[in-house]
Structure 1
Amino acid sequence: MKQKVMAVLAVSLSLVLGVALAEVVFRLALPPVPGDDDGSNLEYLKAVQRSPGAPRLFPPDYSVVFDIRGLYEGAETVAFHVGPHRFIAPEPARKARYKVLFLGGSVTEGMFLPDAARWPGRLGDGDEIATYNAGMSEAGMLSQYITAKYLSERGDRFDLVVLATNHNDSAWSRRFAEVNSRYRFDKFSSALATIYEKDYLTEHKSRRFSFRTLAWAKYLLRVARMTAAASAKPPAGAAQNNSVPKPPSMAVAGLLKIQGGQQNLPKVELDACNGADSPRKLTDLAFEDWKANLPEFRSEMKRLLGAELLVVSEPSTYGAPSSSFHFADMRVPLTCATSDGQRVVEARDAVEYMKGRGRAYLEAARLAGAMTFDLADVMASVADGPQGGAYFFDSIHPTPKGAEKFADYLRPALEEALASIRKN
């Protein structure tokens, strides 16, 4: 009996030592698992956003490849590159007459787009205009002020800053209000720490550490399942089906998961929204924050970077038909609380609401003395048209075709802004 117990103990100890050795080898030989809690773009973004004083910039020479099959027409894999100076590719290779810095969230970053397709890069013009993309997912105006401060401290100067943050600013105004604070310069650091104490340290405490051996095993199994599910590529227009059983890539699966079944909720008009999350109440909240923040932001861009400010509204695509999206309709619907529970706002009301929110953003910018351009308004005929899904792969993020339109519409406004700087 004693020999059997000793044998069991020996086997158990061998297994423990083997797993420990494997973990050491995996951590030395392999990078963090893509999409896992201790690595990937997503975790880097979370880590940065949890740090109120950190610039919203990726590390120099950072690179990662995403599988985006099915996201939009022609999508297979896409490489995300960051240059040596921490700007998103394509970073200008030579000096130009004017330097333009783009600050924004994932729309500006160009999420899931090839380097050459991102709209800030498309606006570069040889020796005349050099464009620098400092966008980052989840970043808003106040976090991008930290970026500008960092760039200033290392000696960077620009002629113009293009700010496009109305989507993320609205979300941050709401999140700050949820912790009884306001999305303002003087409240930013303390309230952000409170938010992430709640969202990350408390709710995700059990996920803060993972064994890389197990993580890689789970990841490879997940990839195998996804590859098998994608063996037969669905035809374009599959979005006409209400159910999408086989996402062709993890990028598509992730976006569909974000919807959380909300698209199946009953639809109501905007007037039926009566809770604290009423879109109109949230716009009023954001508008007050914009009015308070934009004057200081504008003056700080001038002081820190020597730059004038052009504020641009971000488009959305709630008016497009579901059938226009390539694989599936990955839009997150606009929702609100009603007397009958959580509901989805009717598409026509969602379209008008998003336009109104963009106009409020620009009105606050005009009150602060900044230049403005309503990109959301000029993109509306495309975004909400019968082929809207060809220009956006979800509610707000453009496809390469959409980013090209962004640049086409914005180019005259950019040139006008630079011309006014030249006159002064």
Structure 2
Amino acid sequence: MSPSTESSERDAPSPSRFDRRHTDGLIEFLAGSPTPYHAVAGAAQLLEKAGFRQVSETDSWDGSSGGKYVLRGGALVAWYVPEGAAPATPYRIVGAHTDSPNLRVKPLPDTGANGWRQIAVEVYGGTLLNTWLDRDLGIAGRLSLRDGSTRLVNVDRPLLRVPQLAIHLDRQVNDGLKLDRQRHMTPVWGLGTPHEGDLIRFLAEESDLPAEEITGWDLMAHSVEPPAYLGRDRELVAGPRMDNLLSVYAGAAALAAVAERGDLSHVPVLAAFDHEENGSQSDTGADGPLLGNVLERSVFARGGGYEDRARAYAGTICLSSDTGHAVHPNYAERHEPGHHPMPNGGPILKVNVNQRYATDGAGRAVFAAACERAGVPWQNFVSNNAMPCGTTIGPITAARHGISTVDIGVAILSMHSARELCGADDPYLLANCLTAFLED
């Protein structure tokens, strides 16, 4: 679909706060964020450059103005309290998620057979399994140490590979590839006999740590092929984890930008959750208490009580930003005929009347107004009636907190692949939309 006429015909685009340099930054962010833990560390670093400071959930909070953020595992919640904000001041929230479908290391990782050393992995989320075949993979994640601290690790070089069976041994493979998650997805990483503790000893050396100090780990494989511009005119970007680090980066950039404003009538927030790809039910997921606790404590820190909290929530709006489907040139029949979002057509408004997305007519008006203020074109997305519709953190946020929520995002191809594809303009168009929303 072409950019929505509701915005593009009514007003000419205004000068962008963000331009193609934002997309350059996204490429760097994707490359440096192989796991949710690295993603929130990178987003926190961006916010700290804008003056935000980390606060601990175990400390007492004050109601002082300025930018603050909480890190918990692979999740981040950041907010900016304007000067003079009252306890009942409502929030404007950008919601996103930090996790992506991938292959995650099992508790006893060292395995192998027939002279091969392998790493036991578990499939995380709705992964397109075939996209992980014959691809050079690194390992990254979080190491938990005996003293209670954690250390990020990232071996960003060819280390693992899931080898596909040669066509000579599977003559019908091009008529339909069927992969067994247990038997066919175990990567190789060497030759010889596997020994218990091999992987952790290797990662200890890579991290300059004594192996005996590592008592826990959360590790995952990632493609080491870097994200890059693609196409004759470099109008596309190919890279990993766009679903949904594209939104995390845009949200962090927008929040950092509005923190410079001194006349905000609300508290802008970025909520980047983990575990969206498997249902959001965790202490760092959207269906957990993290966001509600942060918002409530911010109200109380400013001297408010339950009544102020209720008033603040009643006036709050959340834009749940996640990637959606661009029309696929080879499978156009799988899309809704009247709604064909295109790359570089601007952010999409996602609608599903069965509440797989939380958007309603009032939310549409909020999103359209933000795009209009930013001078950003936008598009509509709805699923083909014959195809099941995915979902996001949007309905969860709306139902759990009673917050008005709108589902939006950027149209991409190859969603849930090890390597996805988007328009090179859409990341900064989204960031401009989110900025206008947060500074309204």
TM-score by length of 1: 0.30
Which is strand-richer, 1 or 2? 2
- Where relative contact order (Cα < 8 A, 6+ residues apart) is larger, the structure is 2
Rg: which structure is higher?
Answer: 1
- Identify the structure with the greater helix proportion: 1
